[in-house]
Amino acid sequence: MKKRTWMCVMVACVMLLATACGASGDSPEGSGANEKLVVGFAQIGQESGWRDAETASIQFYAGQNLDTIDLKFADAQQKQENQIKAIKSFIEMDVDVIGLAPVVETGWDAVFTEAKDAGIPIVLVDRMAAVDESLYATFIGSDFIEEGKNAAIEMSALLGGSGKIVQLEGTVGASAANDRKKGFEDEIAANHPGIEIVASQTGDFTRAKGKEVMESFLKTYGNEIKGIYGHNDDMALGAIEAIKEAGLKPGSDVVVVSVDGVKGIFEAMAAGEANVTIECNPLLGPQFFQACQTLKDGGTVEKWIKSEEGIFRADTAAADLPNRKY
Amino acid sequence: MSQKLKQFSKNQIFWPLMVLLAILLANGVISGGQFFEMRIVDGHLYGRLIDILRNGSKLMVLAIGITMALATGGTDISVGSVMAISGAVACSIVDGRLLSGVSGSVTVAIVLALLAGLACGLWNGVLIAKAKIQPIVATMILMVAGRGIAQLITEGKIVTINSDAYYFINGGYILGLPFPLFIVAFAFVVVMLFTRKTASGLFIEAIGVNSVSSRFTGIKVDRIKLMIYAFSGLMAAVAGLIESAGIKGADCNNAGLLIELDAILSVAIGGTSLFGGRFSIPASVVGALIIQSISTSVLAIGVAPEVTLVVKSLIVIVICLVQSKKFKEMLAGKFSRRAVKEA
């Protein structure tokens, strides 16, 4: 009898769990033969406020156009194998276009070829993949090298052209990390000889790691560090906490320059704890679906559709803050 | 005196402690003493050793919780996800998006987050003790689903909060020492009293050695298991609070990601067998400190990001070899044979 009661409880719980999972609703349903634009999108996962905004933009746009767009969304939880699995299932579902934000640059050839053989164009969103140009239809996103270069110019201006700085790199192997590093370091080496990058370490694009790495930098170099360059805002936000704990003032003792433009960094800038953010626009939904529609209709799109971006500084942060969507 | 030392060297904690000292010493030498530098900033201690203690606190808390699960021959791989849930619950309440009626009360947030962790632990315990599902499978359910639950709570966003009271859990100081250390100390003392001053420690070891015969001797195996997993869940919730307080936000996808492996490794490095049986909570805590000091030293030495993981794994391999009895015997055999030849 007792055993039976337990079994009942278990079954009830499992059922509850199942409905909860159903409610979160990214389970792809059969596409069926319809005239809608069927798009499979393999997102990296949630790693930062920025990516959340991109996800929201794509889902919002699809939600606004329910009668013309059928979006199948897969969350890969930061794992390449999950993204590959998602792409394979999209191919099986025979979607019109596959969208992908590759978690790392390499290792995509096989699955892209599979999609190409099935006649499904691939649209890369915000991150590049190191594959032959013929394997994907178009890339929508920012010029990371340009972002790194802009960050270097801003950093140099803030420090008056000289000072020691540290760099918080993104996930090892991600194109955003590789290019933001390259653009920044090349610009520093070419035009700002007074700026010295004394240390550079990965913070995996997360706040917790950004904080831990910055704590370590501060122990090694102490007051020598005049500036920090973060490959994303969230790492910079973590670093700001570490700087405060070291008894220094972020924003003045140590200037903070990062890339993305998430709401949190605007709040920090308004509070005087950060200096500049180079925007990397995540609201790519409209551009993405436009490209998908063109591809479905058999049209051609440019190989690189660049997103619109700007540079935001602390002096206007308070005014900009209400306009920030993510 | 030497007699006592000899006895201590046979203690389970001896080798882990030696390894920890060796790592710290090596760091001290490489950095020319800078590693041990300690100064006072804003009235609290500031230095790498403090970093190790504070950043290692969540791992220590997890190790304290998970050791008993491992000692019964089970395991709990859901702790990382439970951390995410507890952080999500706490931050959502402090932020006011959940239970806006309590207007962001930190106390309510902490209590409910701990209860959520306890509930997760109980769920694991029921699956294992009552439904007799293998621990690794039973806890895998929450490991996978837990992160989803956490994301559901935060609506898939990173919840950022600005509460100094909440931040105190990680960034606060008492008597110049980081507050998380006091949490660790409290959990440690409670568990030590429970396992060493009552018979329960013996019961746990008995279950780990032979759960069937333990039941025949009258030990309430199911009840003890249920309790152990509930406690592990509670400790995971504490770790989740520490983590989310440190970054002033709940980052559901990254909070405690893969930390269950570090926690199990801490216990293993501490010398507790993963097959169950004899266990030592202090040794597990030292094991957690070893793992954290490896991370901290990799950063301190400034290893290039691309090879960080390789360096870490090399150190872990060396530690495991040093701990292995068989390997030590092999080495000893080689040396003594050479000694014979030379003679």
* Average of per-residue pLDDT across B314-330: 84
What residues in A contact B308, CB-CB < 8 Å?
A: 202
Nearest to A101 by CA among A76, A132, A121, A119: A76
ipTM: 0.87
Domain that holds residue A90: 36-141+282-307
Provide the b/e sequence for B51-75 (b: ≥16 CB within 10 Å).
bbbbbbbbbbbbbbbbbbbbbbbbb
Do the Cβ atoms of B300 and A220 come within 8 Å?
Answer: yes
Kindly state whether residues A276 and A148 are assigned to the same domain.
Answer: yes
User: Model confidence over B29-76: pLDDT tens digits?
Assistant: 988 888 898 888 888 889 999 999 999 999 999 999 999 999 999 999
* Average of per-residue pLDDT across B88-103: 90
**pLDDT on residue A30:** 42
Kindly state whether residues A265 and A172 are assigned to the same domain.
Answer: yes
Best residue of B34, B128, B247, B259 to probe chain A, by most A CBs closer than 10 Å = B247
What residues in B contact A246, CB-CB < 8 Å?
A: 41, 46
Domain count for chain A, please give it. Answer: 2
Do the Cβ atoms of A48 and B158 come within 8 Å?
Answer: yes
Q: Is the pLDDT of residue B170 over 60?
A: yes
CATH number at residue A124: 3.40.50.2300
For residue B168, being part of any structural domain is answered with yes
In Å, how far from its chain's centre is CA B304?
27
For residue A6, being part of any structural domain is answered with no
Query: pTM, whole model, 2 decimals?
Result: 0.82
Kindly state whether residues A242 and A151 are assigned to the same domain.
Answer: yes
Residues B110 and B122: their CA atoms lie apart, in Å, by 18
Kindly state whether residues A191 and A148 are assigned to the same domain.
Answer: yes
For residue A101, being part of any structural domain is answered with yes
Query: Residues of B near A (CB-CB distance < 8 A)?
Result: 34, 37, 41-42, 46-48, 51, 55, 123, 126-127, 130-131, 145, 147-149, 151-152, 156-158, 160, 171, 243, 246-249, 251-255, 295-296, 299-300, 302, 305-306, 308
Instruction: Return residues 214-243 of A near B (CB < 8 Å).
Output: 215-216, 219-220, 234, 237-238, 241
* Average of per-residue pLDDT across B111-123: 97
Nearest to B59 by CA among B313, B289, B316, B298: B289
Domain count for chain B, please give it. Answer: 1
Residues B150 and B161: their CA atoms lie apart, in Å, by 16
> Can you name the residues that pair with A197 across neighbouring β-strands?
A165
What residues in A contact B152, CB-CB < 8 Å?
A: 20, 24
Domain that holds residue B230: 60-283
For residue B11, being part of any structural domain is answered with no
* Average of per-residue pLDDT across A42-50: 80
Name which of A45, A216, A267 is nearest B300 (Cβ-Cβ): A216
**pLDDT on residue A4:** 65
Kindly state whether residues A188 and A254 are assigned to the same domain.
Answer: yes
Name which of A46, A49, A219 is nearest B151 (Cβ-Cβ): A46
User: Model confidence over B4-26: pLDDT tens digits?
Assistant: 888 888 888 988 999 999 999 99
Average pLDDT, chain A: 88
Rg (CA), chain B: 21
Distances (CA, A) of B244 to A146, A241, B113: 33, 13, 11
